[in-house]
Chain A
Amino acid sequence: MAKLTMPQMGFDMQEGTLVRWLKQPGDQVQRGEAIAEVETDKAVVEIESFHTGVVKELLVAEGTTVPVGTPIAVIDAGDEADTAQAETEATPRPAAPADPAVAAPAPGMPAHAGAATGPAAVAPASVAPSPRVQDGTRRPKASPLARRLASEYGVSLQGIVGSGPGGRIVKQDVLAAVTAMRSEASGAAAAPMAPATAPVGPAAPAPAVPVSAAQGSDALVPMSRMRQTIARRMAESKQQAPHFYVTMAIEMDQAMALREQLKQLPDVPPVSVNDLILKATAIALTRHPRLNSSLEGDAIRVHGAVHLAMAVALEEGLITPVIRDCHNKSLVEIAREARELAEAARAGRLKPEQYQGGTFTVSNLGMFGVEEFAAIINPPQAAILAVGAVTEQPVVRNGQLAVGRIMRATVSADHRVTDGAQVALFLQDLKAILENPLRLLV
């Protein structure tokens, strides 16, 4: 018997409401399969069973709110889970790793046929791996090289989807998983990532197998866990949150001048344009709290603090580390934290609490020369700010043509939470702050 408990999803979750059971007593449930919907203070999420077995008993009625750690269901897992782990947290789906059950091929699947039928015998087309049934211990099918690399990089073959024949895990699958883990994993998981003898660099974008080089032939590259998470969350956001977009041009001459002046001060750490934008955004959000909100059922949670998430591009995806309590932090504090978080993100050293709980996101593609773009809202947040590069452009000042340094800022906002005029007012304030940047210092 194994007991599932209310999982902690996010560092600040204290309790959860069981919205709906997806399995009933007597139902078969696979490890990794959704078993219930749970509402937290941020969202409704599906939670997954940690065990394969039969649902024996549901301990919590639908609609009931219970503290984190409370047993919510009993699963008869046969002899698999009788031992030490009597209680296991159910796994929150959005953060769950790739389903290990899908990673392993079905037992007894033929590697290939016709071993002795002569040189022309080519194995049948590779068969899609099918879910494993009730076997938590079967060794994943992997090439010797894949096993060696997995061991060198300290990654588990469980959870890696094999792209080889019959679902065999091959070199490129391990390298893709390593890259994904590097990008996504927390410090503890990332630590052993440096292989004893690293034969390869970051390899996921270009699989080692030459199919990528083959003209006219396709490459089937398995999605990393990070890619899967991005795919799911962005699709959810675009499908559920009605986006609208408001763009404003901001003259950055004064802000750039301020930055130059700050550079001259010997005891001030470097401050980037993005740091100025983060600080200005934090100030503007305190005046326009509706953009610093989340939708929760029929209510809108207006956050009391500004936790700014900033998008950091990685080799295989992106992550949004969070600078907490930006409303209380100085420009220099924000600049230092932003730099530290970006470095940690690129090194794969972010801890979950460093990328969870953001209340608003800033995404900046200015360093790529992008003039303006629109971002997808990072749920459950209500809005996201997308900023482009500062470029020299003709501007009219006092009836005279002049060269100004212009930056375009676009807010994507959830129309269920806020409206065009509110976003426009926010942008107006943001513009005023950046155009009179002394406000960033007081």
Chain B
Amino acid sequence: MADITYREALRQALREEMLRDERVFLLGEDIGAYGGSYAVTKGLLEEFGEKRVKDTPISETAIIGAAVGAAMDGLRPVAEIMTINFTLVAIDQVINNAAKIHYMFGGQFRCPLVIRTVGGGRRLAATHSQNLEVLFAHIPGLKVVAPATPYDAKGLLKAAIRDDDPVVFIEHSLLYSTRGPVPDEDYVVPIGVSDIKRRGRDVTIVAYSRMTREALIAAEELAKQGIEAEVVDLRTLRPLDMGPVLDSVARTNRAVVVGEDWRSFGIGAEVAARIQEEAFDELDAPVLRVSQLEVPTPYAANLEKLAFPGSRQIVEACQQVLNIQVGAPVAAG
């Protein structure tokens, strides 16, 4: 068990799967000679050669289109889209092709495709700093994964490559340098299984991707106040595994759902709705959401900082569902 970065965990997953299955190949912008915009694929061109690590033109349509075709023809492409913002260019091929081919051709074709992409930019302005996971999580026929730790990143990427359905694999730009323990031996983390990252009895925090880290920081802060928060990491957004969330809510009776996406029609809205549908009688307070402010992400650093959610907002939301007034004057006597 070594302590490695999220970036290194992803590289290990790609390399191990390429060694394991020669049908696996990579394609994307600057992934070969340059080593990838976030350096995930560094060294893989040298090891596997141009046939299996393909630099492409700056055309997301070409990348996804070629990947879909290759997948239909029996290969296992892993396409890298530099940031999730650029998937918009190719979204027709993701939603109308990749997601529907297996269904519309009556099971004659499969589309075992992985689209690796990156959410959560910082200091990149409104068009390059979006968290668009909900666009894909909305679509039947896709699987959507958003890991928070190096362990989950590696295990889920390997599971995604071995999966016979198209998987949108969403990394996070601020997680690449974070570290965590990863086993030396081969393992996968199954797609569609949520994970309790911290036990607590007082309030359930549901999060994914980088917000899981923020939730864990918030839980530390809350623990100092005597509040034991339970943190459930969704890990996969579609199919959504609500079991651990509902079990947790049955114990804590209160929930806060955290996403870095916008609040309206977001992941938090979906999770909150499912909680009230399936655990209504367990709730002792309304389910609250923590999310990005509903503005295009500002470029100005001070404004950008205000727009994104973090541990402070999670702490406040937990206090609110617990009806704890902070800073309220204590009545004399």
Query: What is the minimal beta-carbon distance from B207 to any residue of chain A, in angstroms?
Result: 13
CB of B328 within 8 A of CB of A210, answer: no
The answer to whether A198 has its CB under 8 Å from any CB of chain B is: no
In the complex, chain A residues whose CB is within 8 Å of the CB of B286: 111
8 Å CB contact of A164 from B202, B290, B323, B330:
B323
The answer to whether A53 has its CB under 8 Å from any CB of chain B is: no
Given A119-B313, A164-B285, A214-B226, A144 and B325 contact (CB-CB distance below 8 Å): no
CB of A122 within 8 A of CB of B280, answer: no
The answer to whether A438 has its CB under 8 Å from any CB of chain B is: no
**Complex: how many Å from CA A148 to CA B280?**
10
Contacting residues of chain A (110-142) with chain B, CB-CB under 8 angstroms: 111-112, 116, 118-120, 122-123, 125-126
Contacting residues of chain B (290-333) with chain A, CB-CB under 8 angstroms: 290-294, 309, 312-313, 316-317, 319-320, 322-325, 328, 330
User: Counting chain A CB atoms within 10 Å of each CB, which of B225, B281, B284, B285 scores highest?
Assistant: B284
In the complex, chain B residues whose CB is within 8 Å of the CB of A116: 263-264, 294
CB of B322 within 8 A of CB of A209, answer: yes
The answer to whether B164 has its CB under 8 Å from any CB of chain A is: no
The answer to whether A170 has its CB under 8 Å from any CB of chain B is: yes
CB of B253 within 8 A of CB of A171, answer: yes
CB of B293 within 8 A of CB of A119, answer: yes
CB of B227 within 8 A of CB of A210, answer: yes
The answer to whether A261 has its CB under 8 Å from any CB of chain B is: no
Contacting residues of chain A (273-324) with chain B, CB-CB under 8 angstroms: none
Query: What is the minimal beta-carbon distance from B217 to any residue of chain A, in angstroms?
Result: 15
**Complex: how many Å from CA A118 to CA B289?**
9
B 208-220 to A, binary, CB cutoff 8 A, 1 in contact else 0: 0000000000000
In the complex, chain A residues whose CB is within 8 Å of the CB of B325: 125-126
CB of B283 within 8 A of CB of A143, answer: yes
The answer to whether B163 has its CB under 8 Å from any CB of chain A is: no
Query: What is the minimal beta-carbon distance from A75 to any residue of chain B, in angstroms?
Result: 36
Given A119-B317, A218-B330, A170 and B285 contact (CB-CB distance below 8 Å): yes
CB of A146 within 8 A of CB of B201, answer: no
**Complex: how many Å from CA A243 to CA B320?**
47
CB of A118 within 8 A of CB of B294, answer: yes
**Complex: how many Å from CA A211 to CA B322?**
9
**Complex: how many Å from CA A185 to CA B322?**
30
The answer to whether A163 has its CB under 8 Å from any CB of chain B is: yes
Q: How large is the interface on A (under 10, 10 to 19, 20 to 34, 35 or more residues)?
A: 20 to 34
- Residue in B closest to A124 when the chains form the complex, CB atoms: B325
In the complex, chain B residues whose CB is within 8 Å of the CB of A211: 226, 322, 324
The answer to whether A217 has its CB under 8 Å from any CB of chain B is: yes
The answer to whether A239 has its CB under 8 Å from any CB of chain B is: no
User: Counting chain B CB atoms within 10 Å of each CB, which of A119, A146, A164, A213 scores highest?
Assistant: A119
CB of A217 within 8 A of CB of B324, answer: yes
The answer to whether A165 has its CB under 8 Å from any CB of chain B is: yes
CB of B313 within 8 A of CB of A143, answer: no
A 137-166 to B, binary, CB cutoff 8 A, 1 in contact else 0: 000000111111000000000000001110
**Complex: how many Å from CA A210 to CA B284?**
13
The answer to whether B241 has its CB under 8 Å from any CB of chain A is: no
The answer to whether A398 has its CB under 8 Å from any CB of chain B is: no
**Complex: how many Å from CA A120 to CA B294?**
12
CB of A123 within 8 A of CB of B225, answer: no
- Residue in A closest to B200 when the chains form the complex, CB atoms: A210
A 385-417 to B, binary, CB cutoff 8 A, 1 in contact else 0: 000000000000000000000000000000000
**Complex: how many Å from CA A358 to CA B285?**
45
A 194-223 to B, binary, CB cutoff 8 A, 1 in contact else 0: 000000000000001111011101100000
Determine chain A's interface SS by DSSP, over half rule: loop
Query: What is the minimal beta-carbon distance from B274 to any residue of chain A, in angstroms?
Result: 15
User: Counting chain B CB atoms within 10 Å of each CB, which of A120, A125, A165, A213 scores highest?
Assistant: A120
CB of B309 within 8 A of CB of A145, answer: no
Contacting residues of chain B (87-124) with chain A, CB-CB under 8 angstroms: none
CB of B253 within 8 A of CB of A145, answer: yes
In the complex, chain B residues whose CB is within 8 Å of the CB of A171: 253, 284
CB of B226 within 8 A of CB of A145, answer: no
The answer to whether B282 has its CB under 8 Å from any CB of chain A is: yes
8 Å CB contact of B226 from A120, A123, A164, A210:
A210
**Complex: how many Å from CA A404 to CA B292?**
77
8 Å CB contact of A144 from B227, B228, B280:
B280
**Complex: how many Å from CA A218 to CA B282?**
25
CB of A119 within 8 A of CB of B253, answer: no
**Complex: how many Å from CA A363 to CA B320?**
44
**Complex: how many Å from CA A147 to CA B312?**
32
8 Å CB contact of B281 from A126, A148, A218:
A148
CB of B282 within 8 A of CB of A144, answer: yes
In the complex, chain A residues whose CB is within 8 Å of the CB of B253: 143, 145, 171, 208
**Complex: how many Å from CA A164 to CA B330?**
17
Given A119-B293, A125-B328, A145-B282, A217 and B323 contact (CB-CB distance below 8 Å): no
**Complex: how many Å from CA A56 to CA B312?**
58
**Complex: how many Å from CA A45 to CA B75?**
89
**Complex: how many Å from CA A217 to CA B202?**
15
In the complex, chain B residues whose CB is within 8 Å of the CB of A147: 281
- Residue in A closest to B258 when the chains form the complex, CB atoms: A119
- Residue in A closest to B310 when the chains form the complex, CB atoms: A119
Given A116-B294, A119-B309, A217 and B281 contact (CB-CB distance below 8 Å): no
In the complex, chain B residues whose CB is within 8 Å of the CB of A215: 225-226
- Residue in A closest to B314 when the chains form the complex, CB atoms: A119
CB of A214 within 8 A of CB of B227, answer: yes
8 Å CB contact of B320 from A123, A145, A146, A148:
A123
User: Counting chain B CB atoms within 10 Å of each CB, which of A146, A163, A217 scores highest?
Assistant: A217
**Complex: how many Å from CA A209 to CA B319?**
11
CB of A209 within 8 A of CB of B323, answer: yes
Contacting residues of chain A (307-343) with chain B, CB-CB under 8 angstroms: none
CB of B227 within 8 A of CB of A126, answer: no
Query: What is the minimal beta-carbon distance from B289 to any residue of chain A, in angstroms?
Result: 8
Query: What is the minimal beta-carbon distance from B223 to any residue of chain A, in angstroms?
Result: 10
Query: What is the minimal beta-carbon distance from B136 to any residue of chain A, in angstroms?
Result: 23
In the complex, chain B residues whose CB is within 8 Å of the CB of A119: 263, 289-293, 309, 313, 317
Task: For the A-B complex with A118-B293, A210-B227, A213-B228 known, give 10 more contacts whose Cβ atoms are closer than 8 Å.
Answer: A112-B320, A120-B316, A122-B316, A143-B253, A144-B283, A210-B201, A210-B322, A211-B324, A213-B227, A217-B324
12 pairs, A vs B, C-beta closer than 8 Å: A119-B289, A120-B316, A123-B320, A125-B325, A143-B285, A144-B282, A164-B284, A164-B285, A171-B253, A209-B323, A210-B201, A217-B225
Closest 3 pairs between A and B when the two form their complex, measured CB to CB? A214-B226, A119-B313, A148-B281
